[in-house]
Amino acid sequence: MTRFKLTIEYDGAPYSGWQRQDGQPTVQGELERAASALEEVPVQIFGAGRTDAGVHALGQVAHVDMIKDLRPDTVRDALNHHLGNNPISVLYAETVNDDFEARFGAIERTYLYRLIDRRPPLALDRGRIWRVPQSLNVTRMDKAAQVLIGPHDFTTFRDVQCQAKTPMRTLDEIRISRVGEEIHLFFSARSYLHRQVRSITGSLVEIGTGKWGPEDLQQALQACDRSACGPVAPAHGLYLNTVCY
């Protein structure tokens, strides 16, 4: 038996998130179906992290144990074949040691949130970027976001259904910049709370529009109260970017 590390991209729009769910289309479920067709026996795939319904991935990582003696490129191509028309692509397959764990071995996960501040509706990127129909002050957003760096109680930016044992998390980096016509929000941390990135993003947009001042973000953080959070950003602008080991 050989363990493979898989790097995967996907469009999250058709799926009820990463995690396998009975009766619901999920990314993990489709990958396991493809792997089971290849192996001709039931196969489990383990991801580095769960993404919510509608969230995309540029570099999700998973591991899978394969019984057949196959080259990594054969595993990649065969999985993509069995995935069929699913908007899921295995970019790389690599052999790894048997103790490699996609979830527990990760030391950093980065997320990208894509925004565009324009009034006309999107034609080509609908469902992949959050369109805010008014100008955003990116400099104000980036400066305000820095109060979130480091270890904090992120209760305010934690979904009420979050199952994490503690609201304490450490954000290593938040960077906000214009990239062409888009605004990119880059987040780096070892782990996140449920909907933490989307909650923070929505609050930062309030700063960008001028509805909030920079001090309001710090007050929201210190409140440790979910009701102090701004509107939660929609799922379709969020991408799991990279997972590092």
CA distance 130 to 196: 17
**CA distance from start to end of the chain:** 22
CA distance 221 to 204: 12
Cα-based distances in Å from 38 to 42, 71, 236: 10, 13, 31
Question: Looking at residue 161, what DSSP letter applies?
Answer: T
Is residue 99 part of the annotated active site? The answer reads no
Question: Looking at residue 198, what DSSP letter applies?
Answer: H
Beta carbons of 123 and 28 less than 8 angstroms apart: no
Q: What is the DSSP string of 109-144?
A: EEEEEEEE--SSPPSSSTTTSEE-SS---HHHHHHH
Alpha helices in 40-137 (DSSP H): 72-83
- State which amino acid sits at residue 58: L
Out of 11, 22, 52, 73, the active site residue is: 52
Q: What are phi and psi of 130, to 5 degrees?
A: -85, 120
Q: Which residues are known catalytic residues? A: 52
